Chains A and B, each alone.
Chain A
Amino acid sequence: MALQDVADKSLHDKLRRAERRKKIEAVSLIGPLLLLMVIFYFIPIGMMLYRSIDNSQMREILPETAKALAHWNGQGLPDESAYAAVVADMKVAYPARTLAGAGRRLNFDKVGFYSLLLKTGRKLKKIGGPPYKEKLIEIDSKWGDPKYWTVMKRGLKNITLIYLLRAVDLRYDDTNSIVGVPEEQAIYKSIIQRTVYISLSVTILCLLIGYPLAYFMATSSASVRNLLMIGLLLVFWTSLLVRTLSWILVLQDKGVVNSFLLSLGIISHPLPLVFNRIGVYVAMTHVLLPFMVLPLYSVMAGIPSYYVRAARSLGATPIAAFFKVYTPMTLPGIGAGCLMVFIQALGYYITPALVGGPKDQMVSYFVAFFVNERVNWSMASALGVVLLLMTGSFYLIFGKRVNITNMKLG
């Protein structure tokens, strides 16, 4: 009995040792990739996500005010200590030129704050000694308005949701509850809708063009197939910018298409084909087509010809055999292709920015806009979060159905 136990134990140890070696091997193989992913993917994305709610710099600019308002119950006006704190903070922040940043941030929540802070800061030199309450209200009556203090208190918390809310056209009202923004300011929802709509249209176009192409590739001889594959992959070998710009050349008023149609006399005026929705569809479909064709082709190449033959022998016409037997068997490819095209299309920026008009810009354009033009990283991040959530949820909903992890390209 004891001997048996000893034997078992040593076997167990041996097994564990053998397994451990395998584990070390596995980890050392994927280790570099994992490290790369963490450093260059997860950490930046995490930072980006955090930036959309991060509000800590406000406390650095107005530390005393933050402390003083922490005790304020939000009813009526705060007491003298809060006014004194504002004055103390501004005396530091105005010369340090950090007040403008705080002003911009608070102005995002409530219009008028930027001018309030800068005006007050300018006049602080002559303010004299305490008490400050009356003096501040004298400088600007807004200091006597509890609404501004509510915004101030909200704006001095470490975490803020205003950017995320704004990214879906919501805001805080004066009583700190979440409401929709006024209609004339509500733009993001329609941008999100437009993004989904354009992506969906491009996906459908890719499917309509890609499915016959993939079928032809899967059924033609090796030499024809290779030629088509090269033609398809040529798209990958050209820079995105060059490809997009060449579409402008092709589609513009004096471009190839319009000149051709004009010379044939089919049209008398050039068709508007670029810097509008048509240009976006054409260019995006072209760029994304391989992502539809490759998964479709990979599925179709794996379907032996005997299934359709079986259907024919059972009495199905060629069309019935194709739609009732062949097409259902390509559903995993259709799903994977559509998901891949759709998810990529959601995040498209360069192509619509170059060949689209102002009404064809998608969420990514506004991310770039807030980074480059407004220097509002928080809003850019918030839109990024919205985009990420959209992509993630589409992936989770449809990715499971089409079993995308089992797909391979080519």
Chain B
Amino acid sequence: METQQYHVSFRGVQKSYDGIRLVVKDLNLDIERGEFVTMLGPSGSGKTTCLMMLAGFETATQGEIYYNGKPVNNIPPHKRGIGMVFQNYALFPHMTVGKNLAFPLKVRKLGKEEIDQAVLEALDMVQMKDFVDRYPGQLSGGQKQRVALARALVFKPELVLMDEPLGALDKQLREQMQYEIKNIHEKLRVSVVYVTHDQSEALTMSDRIAVFEDGIIQQIAPPDDLYERPDNSFVARFIGENNTLHGMVDTIEDGVARVTLDDGQQVMALAVNVDKPGIPTLLSIRPERVVINPDEEKMTQTVDGHVEQLIYLGDHIRCRMTVAGNSEFIVKIPNAADSRMLEVGQNIRIGWMTDDCRALDAD
């Protein structure tokens, strides 16, 4: 069976709560042992539902989920042995930190010494050893998060699910915790399925990211692929900042499309999601890949732009301009000596490499 080699496999999984609308539509996803996979998407895209089905709190309406090669649809959550970190930590308020961590070991009927040792080890891993006798109510958000993480790992599960675990933390703490989770993952080599709507979190931590929208995985790829080579316009818009230009495909040759923009200028772009001439397309270019006053020989594509607004951001200048009818076209100009020459109202030439411009579906 092909699912055997994967740690987790979703096969044609569908989920509906009301019998009318599918929250998850035909999900197929394989997760390797030790992999860190993030389910990324806007709220209501079905990512948390997928996680809950994997944890056993929801049952798939159709399809099968395999864990270690075995179907788990009929296995209750407490027999799956999957660790889980909840959005609100879900630390038991009536138990101390130590008791919280001992809980999964006690229900597994481990010996007292074994439990004590495992609890201390797990707390040590998240630098919370000194807090063993505190109650969750006496901890800060970040500390609670660490304890919740330790509790999900203390019984040594092979798979840990995390449901927006850093959502309630402030930005600085969130970034710090991202690295810690990543370090723990690398140290323990457990498989992690992580749900978030924060793309920078997903990009920082994941081996692969599955972008969810409307119950469908739009693209599943490593972070760099996802950012630089989005498969469709949803992924392009959802991940990172993105400039879009509307146009019509004239010709497609060797994977490169010639596109006429709305204002008549012609550009070349990678034909990613367009298959025939004569259809509308959306060109996607990352702001940092656009160059001002390009060297016409180096840059394969150049177009005219009109500077609308300049925002000084220290390390770079954010330039909003109108390009081919799109007045929200953003260019990030490094704060170098020559970049100050720009003025609002100026007409300038901008350019990019053909490889950085992707012709996607016009949606």
Binds B, one of A10-18, A201-209, A305-313: A305-313
Closest to B163 in A: A306
Chain A to chain B: the 3 pairs with minimum beta-carbon distance, closest first: A314-B104, A310-B90, A313-B84
A316 touches B86 (CB 8 A): no
A353 within 8 A of partner (CB): no
Nearest CB on B from A130, distance (A)? 81
Q: What residues on B are CB-neighbors of A304 within 8 Å?
A: 88, 90
Nearest CB on B from A316, distance (A)? 5
The one of B82, B86, B108, B155 in contact with A310, judged by C-beta atoms closer than 8 angstroms, is B86
B230 within 8 A of partner (CB): no
A320 touches B92 (CB 8 A): no
Contact residues of B with A, CB < 8 Å? Answer: 55-57, 76-78, 80-84, 86-88, 90-94, 103-104, 107-108, 151-152, 155, 161
The one of A306, A318, A320 in contact with B86, judged by C-beta atoms closer than 8 angstroms, is A306
A31 within 8 A of partner (CB): no
> A309 and B77 in contact (CB under 8 A), knowing A314-B151, A315-B108, A316-B107?
yes
Nearest CB on A from B312, distance (A)? 41
Q: What residues on A are CB-neighbors of B86 within 8 Å?
A: 306, 309-310
Closest to B93 in A: A329
Q: What residues on B are CB-neighbors of A331 within 8 Å?
A: 94
Please name 18 pairs of A and B residues whose Cβ atoms are closer than 8 Å in the assembled complex, sorted by A. Answer: A306-B87, A306-B90, A309-B86, A310-B90, A310-B91, A310-B92, A313-B77, A313-B78, A313-B80, A313-B83, A314-B84, A314-B103, A314-B155, A315-B78, A315-B81, A316-B104, A317-B78, A324-B103
Consensus secondary structure, chain A interface: helix
Interface 0/1 of A320-358, CB less than 8 Å to B: 110011001101000000000000000000000000000
Q: What residues on A are CB-neighbors of B152 within 8 Å?
A: 313-314
A328 touches B94 (CB 8 A): yes
B107 touches A320 (CB 8 A): yes
Q: What residues on A are CB-neighbors of B94 within 8 Å?
A: 328-329, 331
> A307 and B81 in contact (CB under 8 A), knowing A312-B57, A314-B155, A315-B108?
no
Q: How far is the CA of A194 from the CA of B57 in the complex (A)?
A: 49
Nearest CB on A from B135, distance (A)? 13
A312 touches B90 (CB 8 A): no
Given contacts A307-B90, A313-B56, list 5 more A-B pairs with CB under 8 A: A309-B86, A312-B56, A312-B76, A315-B81, A317-B107
B93 touches A314 (CB 8 A): no
Nearest CB on A from B91, distance (A)? 8
Closest to A325 in B: B92
Q: Give the contact-size bracket for chain A.
A: 20 to 34
The one of A306, A316, A324, A329 in contact with B78, judged by C-beta atoms closer than 8 angstroms, is A316
> A312 and B78 in contact (CB under 8 A), knowing A306-B86, A320-B107?
yes
A309 touches B107 (CB 8 A): no
Nearest CB on B from A172, distance (A)? 52
Q: What residues on A are CB-neighbors of B77 within 8 Å?
A: 309, 312-313
Q: What residues on B are CB-neighbors of A310 within 8 Å?
A: 84, 86, 90-92
B155 touches A306 (CB 8 A): no
Q: How far is the CA of A331 from the CA of B155 in the complex (A)?
A: 28
Nearest CB on A from B191, distance (A)? 15
Q: How far is the CA of A317 from the CA of B151 in the complex (A)?
A: 17
Closest to A329 in B: B94
Closest to B91 in A: A310
Q: What residues on B are CB-neighbors of A329 within 8 Å?
A: 92-94
> A316 and B92 in contact (CB under 8 A), knowing A309-B77, A309-B86?
no
Most A-side CB within 10 Å, residue of B104, B151, B152: B104
Q: What residues on A are CB-neighbors of B108 within 8 Å?
A: 315
B92 touches A307 (CB 8 A): yes
Q: How far is the CA of A324 from the CA of B78 in the complex (A)?
A: 14
